[in-house]
Amino acid sequence: MSGHDPNDNDLNQPRADAARALFDRASARLDTATANRLRLARREALSAPRHRPMFLPVGAAAAAVLAIGLVWWLPKPAVDVAPTTAETSTDPALLGEDDTELYAWLGDAPVAPDKGKSETNSKDGAL
């Protein structure tokens, strides 16, 4: 490691030993209340059940099975297969050369009068 003289650690070691001695004294002379709490915490930890109930894994597995079943059994939504604009516009069969003439003829063709409507009009006129 750059920037650190290995001898520094040797020089610091007696000081670190002093810190460790302080740590040892503090650990040995723990106050009674804290020591009792530690003892109680240890007993509670040791009295915990050895095998925790497996509610969470079982529940997660059941939910996963249910989800898979729903996906499997539910009907699939209908898919609309509508022709695209590109398909209709590029189909040569639908783009005949006579289309323009056909529509012109349809526009000019005489429209047959509605029979029932013409009779009603004649009656209204008679009155």
Partner 1 sequence: MRPATIDAIRNMRNGSVDLPEPVADAAAGKGVAATLDEFLADVERRAFRLAELALGHREDAMDAVQEAMIKLVKYRNRPATEWPPLFWSILRRQLTDRHRRNAVKRRVMTFLGRHEDEREDPLEMLPDPFEDPARRHCDSAAWQALGKALRALPGRQRECFLLRELQGLNVAETAAAMGCSDGSVKTHLSRAMSALRDHLEDWR
Residue ranges that bind partner 1, judged by CB under 8 A = 1, 4, 6, 8-9, 12, 14-16, 18-20, 22-23, 25-35, 37-39, 41-42, 44-46, 48, 50
Contacts of 94 (CB under 8 A, 6+ apart): 88
Cα Rg of the chain, angstroms: 47
Q: How far is the CB of 57 from partner 1 (least distance, A)?
A: 15
Q: How far is the CB of 48 from partner 1 (least distance, A)?
A: 6
Cβ distance 86 to 92 under 8 Å? no
CB nearer to partner 1: pick between 37 and 104: 37
Residues of the chain by 3-state class (helix, strand, coil), percent to 5: 70, 0, 30
Q: How far is the CB of 64 from partner 1 (least distance, A)?
A: 22
CB nearer to partner 1: pick between 1 and 70: 1
CB nearer to partner 1: pick between 27 and 84: 27
Q: How far apart are CA 121 and CA 119, in angstroms?
A: 5
Q: How far is the CB of 36 from partner 1 (least distance, A)?
A: 11
Q: Which two tokens stand for residue 46?
A: 């040791």
